[in-house]
Every structure is written in structure tokens, then in C-alpha cells.
Amino acid sequence: MPDIVLTRIDNRLIHGQVATQWCGVVGANLLLVANDKVAADQLRQGLMNMAAPSYCQTRYFTIQKTCDIIGKASPSQHIAIICETPQDVLKLVEGGVPIKSVNIGNMHMAEGKRQVATSVAVSDDDVAAFKRLRELGVELYIQRVPDIAKEDVENLFK
């Protein structure tokens, strides 16, 4: 069983907040970006590697590869999974990745989305993915950084 210490949705993926705050608080030593586009984009990987703390390894896997190999993780790996969308997290859960809770950190406003929290804007597809995750027993919480209060997750469903 892999030691998943954090699963976070953040459309910026690895950046300052994840690298400097969340990794330290949750004790992660491996940042795993599960994203099909980034898995094939060396430039973006290089930029994100610069933001990762020196004590964390980074991996950039497709959703399918994450599902296929997460069970082979070493017990010494304390994994923070970073996804861009709730749909990607849902694919991981449905693919057998044992995710118990999801930190919803940052989802930018875009056409077809509505603001539901300080840094979270959702579309109808996002809401459907969150509902399905909840049905599958996954705890959801909205929290930008560890030292501020969680926001009301029920706002996602209004």
C-alpha cells in the first residue's frame, strides 16, 4: 500500500505553495504529478523541478501509469500526488489508487466556471467529478495553504 500523504488539486501543479508549505507539513519526500500532458512536456517538468524542495523527488506520470505503478512504491516514499483537475483525481481513484482525501487548493476561473471559494472555480463537470469522488468515500476539503482555515466544501455543490 503506497503512503499517500496528500492528494491535491491545483491547476498550477508544483509551485511555491506546494513546494514550501504543503510538503513540509505532510512530510512528503516525493511529489508525483499525475497529468497526461505534463508527463510528455520536458520544459514544464524542468520548471516545476526548480520549485520542488531539495528533499523531494519529483515524478511526472500519466494518469494510467500512476494507476499501474503506484502500488509498487517503496514504504520509504511519502507521496504527495498533485493533479490539475478533479476529473484526473477521479480517474486515479477509479483506477485503483487508494486516495482517501483530496485537498482542493486552486482551480482558476475560466469560461463556464463559477467561483465557489477563495481560489476555487468549478464547472458542472467538476461538480459531477466531486460528487462521484464523494460517493466513492473520498473526503474533500478546500484549503489553499496549511496555515489557513478550511473553507466550506458544501459550496462546491451549490
User: Catalytic positions, please?
Assistant: 15
Alpha carbon of residue 62 to chain centroid: 13
Q: How would you classify the pairing of strands 114-117 and 120-122? A: antiparallel
Look at residue 135 and give its three-state secondary structure: helix
* One-character DSSP codes across 72-91: G--TT-EEEEEESSHHHHHH
Instruction: Let me know if 112 is exposed, middle or buried by CB neighbors in 10 A (0-12, 13-18, 19+).
Output: exposed
